[in-house]
Amino acid sequence: MSDPLRIGNASGFYGDRRAAVREMLEGGPLDVLTGDYLAELTMLILGRDRAADPTRGYARTFLAQLEECLGLARDRGVRLVVNAGGTNPAGLADAVRALADRLGVPTAVAHVEGDDLLPRAAELGLGEPLTANAYLGAFGIAACLDAGADVVVTGRVTDASLVVGPGISAFGWGRDDLDALAGAMVAGHVLECGTQATGGNLSSFAEHPVEQLLHPGFPLAELHADGSAVVTKHPGTGGVVDVDTVTAQLLYEVTGARYAGPDAVARFDTVQLTADGPDRVRLSGTRGEPPPPDTKVCLNALGGHRNEVTFVLTGERVAAKAALVRAQFEAALAPRPAELVWSAVGTEQPGADTEAGASVLLRAQATDPRAEVVGRAFSGAAVELALASYPGFHLTAPPGNGSAFGVYTPAFVPQAVVPHVAVLPDGSRVDVPPPATTAPLAPAGEALHPSTGPGGGGGASPARGGWGPTRRARLGRVARARSGDKGGTATIGLWARTDTAAAWLAAAITPDVVRELLPEAADLPVTVHPLPNLRAVDVVVEGLLGRGVAASTRFDPQGKAVGEWLLGREVDVPEALL
C-alpha cells in the first residue's frame, strides 16, 4: 500500500461517547476504525461479569454501537478493530456474528485470543487472581485483517496494537521493521484515549474558544509505510489538533523514554512533532528497538469491601467539629475496619457568600475483608449521629451498604509462554509466534535526577544559576501538564512551549523539588526522565495512588489531576520566562 492508511478512533474507555462510531464513519473517509475499551479497572469489572455469567465479560456498549452502525461501516468500506472483547473475545465475536445475521449485513468476523492466563495462573506463579491477562501484540490482528475480516475483536492487547495491527497488514511490516512498528506504536498511543488528543483534558484549554471545545471530534492518524503519521481529525468537527494536544497525549501515563510493547520498544526521545497545517501534526523520526523477552500481565484480585461517608462541616470551628465527629464515629465502630482513612476537602471560610462555600467536606473511607464490617454497621454508625454530634450536622448523601473492591497488580511472564492465536473468519486458528529477537528493557540514558527513595536527587530549590532574577510564580505560568496512573504509581508529563523554558524546566524539576511541591509525595520515590525533543520531563511518583484505582482511598484515585495541582504550586521562576 502506497497511500497513507487512515485509522480513526471512536472510544478511549468503556463508557465513552456512544455516538462516536457514527460520527467517525459519517465524518470523512477512513480505512480502519478502532475502539479502546479496556483499562486495568475495566478488566476487573469484566472479569466479575464473566465470573457471574460465563457468556459475558465483554464491553456490551460496542454491540449497541454496532447495531446502529454495522451497515454504515460496510457501506463506507471501513473495517473495525476493537479490544471490546475484554475477558471473552470469542463470546463477543459470536455476538457480533449473531447481530450481523439479524441485521442482514454480511460481515466477516475474526478475533484474537490467548491473553487469558487465568487457567494457568498457579502454574505461571501468578497466584489465584480473578483475572490474569497478558498484553498481546499486533501480529494477531494483522493475521485477521489479512484473512479478510471486516470486524476484529480482541481481548487484552496493548492499546497501541489496535493501530499497529492494521499497519502491519497494510504495509507488510515484519518483526525486523522496528522503526516502522515503533512509529505506529506512537501513533496508536496518541489515538488510544480518543478526544484527549483533540483538546480534551488539556492544560491550555483556556487558549481556545469554549465553543471549539464543546464537542471535540475524535482523532485519526494518516499512517505511512515508514511508520510516520499525521494526527488529525475530520473536517468541521470540534476540538483542536496541534503540537500541544499531541504532546499532552504522548506524555500521558508513560514512565520514561522507552515505551515497551510486545512487538517493539518505541524511543519517545526520538519522536519529532511538527505542525503540518490546520489541525494536523506530523509524527516522525521514531526509532524502534527489539521488544523485551517478557510481557506484562494484568492481574486483578478481590481485595475486600469498602464504604464511605461524607460529613458536611459548615461555618466556624471546622477543626473542632471534625475532631468531635471523628471521635464519635470511630468510637461507634465495632469492630473497627481494617483501614479507616479520613480526608477533608475545602478550607474554613465562615464568611463565604454561599452556604456551600462556607462548608468543608470531611470524608471517612473504610476497607475491610469482611463485608459486614463496612456495610450496615458502618452506615448505621454515621446515621445515628444525626442528632448527637456537631451543630449543623448533615451528610452529602445517605451512606450505602458498601461494595467489593479489587486490587490490580502487574506481573511479567516470558512472551514464549503466552499463546497468541488469531481465529480467522472461517474459524481456522493461526498461531502467532513470539518475536525471535528480544532484548532486556534498559533505561534510555540516565534519568535527569535519579532517585532511589525519599531524600535522593537534586536540590530543593528550583532556581538555578545563569537564569537571572527570579520571581515566585505558579509553575503553570511556564509549563503544561497531564497526569495519570500506572497502578499505584502516578505519572506526570510536564512540557514547555519554548526551548528556553524547556531547558529551565529540565534543570529545575528534581525529585526533591517534586516532593516539596507535592507534600503528599514527601516520603515516596520520585524519578524525573528527560524528553528534550518534546520539550518535556516525565515525572514518576511511586506509590502515590496506593494500591491503584480500584482499591485507592485517595481523593483522586487515578491521579488525573495531580498535574494540575503541580501547576498550581509556586516556584522561583526566571523573570525572563514570565
Q: What pLDDT digit, counting tens, does each position of 48-61 carry?
A: 999 999 999 999 99
* Structural domain includes residue 372: yes
Burial class (CB in 10 A: 0-12, 13-18, 19+), 450: middle
* Structural domain includes residue 457: no
Considering the domain architecture, whether residues 26 and 173 belong to the same structural domain is answered as yes
pLDDT tens per residue, range 81-132: 999 999 999 999 999 999 999 999 999 999 999 999 999 999 999 999 999 9
Considering the domain architecture, whether residues 226 and 95 belong to the same structural domain is answered as yes
* Structural domain includes residue 67: yes
The CATH number given to whatever domain includes residue 377 is 3.30.70
Considering the domain architecture, whether residues 367 and 423 belong to the same structural domain is answered as no
* Nine cell digits for residue 529: 526522565
Q: Are 344 and 361 in contact (CB under 8 A)?
A: yes
Position 233 scores a pLDDT of: 98
* Structural domain includes residue 129: yes
Considering the domain architecture, whether residues 397 and 426 belong to the same structural domain is answered as no
The 3-state DSSP class for residue 408 equals: strand
Considering the domain architecture, whether residues 213 and 99 belong to the same structural domain is answered as yes
**Residue the block writes with cell 442528632:** 387
Considering the domain architecture, whether residues 79 and 224 belong to the same structural domain is answered as yes
Considering the domain architecture, whether residues 234 and 125 belong to the same structural domain is answered as yes
Considering the domain architecture, whether residues 500 and 419 belong to the same structural domain is answered as no
The 3-state DSSP class for residue 321 equals: helix
Phi and psi at 4, nearest 5°, equal -65, 150
Alpha-carbon span 207 to 213, nearest angstrom: 11
* Structural domain includes residue 503: yes
Alpha-carbon span 513 to 524, nearest angstrom: 13
Q: Which residues contact 563 (CB under 8 A, 6 or more apart)?
A: 203, 481, 482, 483, 492, 493, 494
Considering the domain architecture, whether residues 13 and 146 belong to the same structural domain is answered as yes
How does residue 466 score in pLDDT terms, banded at 50, 70 and 90?
A: confident
Position 392 scores a pLDDT of: 97
Considering the domain architecture, whether residues 328 and 288 belong to the same structural domain is answered as no
* Structural domain includes residue 204: yes
How does residue 258 score in pLDDT terms, banded at 50, 70 and 90?
A: very high
Q: Phi-psi region for residue 362, left (φ > 0), alpha (ψ -120 to 50) or beta?
A: beta
Pairing of strands 79-82, 32-35: parallel
Arithmetic mean of pLDDT over the chain: 94
Considering the domain architecture, whether residues 193 and 177 belong to the same structural domain is answered as yes
The 3-state DSSP class for residue 175 equals: coil
Alpha-carbon span 339 to 107, nearest angstrom: 52
* Structural domain includes residue 517: yes
Which range has the worst mean pLDDT, 389-403, 435-449, 548-562?
A: 435-449
How many structural domains compose the chain? 3
* Structural domain includes residue 461: no
Radius of gyration of the chain measured on its C-alpha atoms:
25
100-106 long-range contacts, CB within 8 A, separation 24+: 100/70, 103/67, 103/70, 103/71, 105/70, 105/71, 105/74, 106/74
Give the residue numbers spanning the domain of 107: 5-292+410-431
Considering the domain architecture, whether residues 396 and 535 belong to the same structural domain is answered as no
